[in-house]
A = this chain, B = another copy of it.
Amino acid sequence: MINKQVSNLTVALAEIENGATVMAGGFGDAGSPNDLIHGLLECQLKGLTLIGNGVVAEDFGQGRLITAGCVVKYIASFPRGPGTTIFDAGTPTAHIELEVVPQGTLAERIRAGGAGIPGFYTGTAFGTPLAAGKETRQIDGKDYVLEQAITADVALIMAKHADRWGNLVYSKSGRNFNPIMAMGAKLTIVQVEEIVELGELDPETIATPGIFVDRVVEVENPTTLYGEP
């Protein structure tokens, strides 16, 4: 029998190794798997490459993982959220390698990784510093940049509901990077508010079919930046 539910965060996060590449969903605090991210701190991992949209607060979520010293490289579109100084010159995190990627290119590179597309052309960033050193190509008279897929060892995902097959239903703008990150990792770990019986999720509303999911842990009251869920 297929049962992707695990009993707690520790089991959910087992077997992640130093030096792993970890993607984490979320945009702002919406859809951010904060309990998994904070749980990862207790794994005391070193040398992680972290992939996410950006840091919302320096001591919360992805920010906490970075300021705690677990991360050597961060791939993000908005690395330093409003009000943060993380990564700025002179801060303790200034030495962390940053790869700033246009948000749409980041999303498409992650989707490509999950979809078995090693590279694609996009007009985004052509002629800008973020395309520096990248191969370019003219197609039908327009200029494009060749971008490569991003995959990861681990994806940390937040959804609203799941079932034992790992099917996921999201809430509102909580989807953001979660469905595409779930596709592109060797090990996809999900926190949800509730795991329901198989068949209870509307098949038309399942935005991440269980095929992309390895482990699901129930966190009834997820930690949020802004207080009560």
Contact = CB atoms under 8 A, between A and B. Distances in A.
B120 A116 contact: no
Interface residues of A, number: 24
A112 interface: yes
Interface string A100-119: 00000000100010011111
Given A205-B202, A205-B204, A121 B123 contact: no
Contact of A121 (B108, B120, B139, B140): B120
A165 interface: no
A169 interface: yes
Contacts of A148: 139
A204 B170 contact: yes
State the majority secondary structure of interface residues on A.
mixed
A140 B203 CA distance: 37
A212 interface: no
A93 interface: no
Nearest to A169: B204
Interface string A112-136: 1001111111110000000000000
Contacts of A142: 118
A210 to B, nearest CB: 17
A144 interface: yes
Interface string A162-194: 000000011010000000000000000000000
Q: Report the 7 A-B pairs with minimum CB-CB distance, sorted nearest first.
A: A120-B120, A118-B139, A119-B121, A204-B205, A117-B120, A118-B121, A205-B205
Interface string A186-229: 00000000000000001111010000000000000000000000
A55 to B, nearest CB: 28
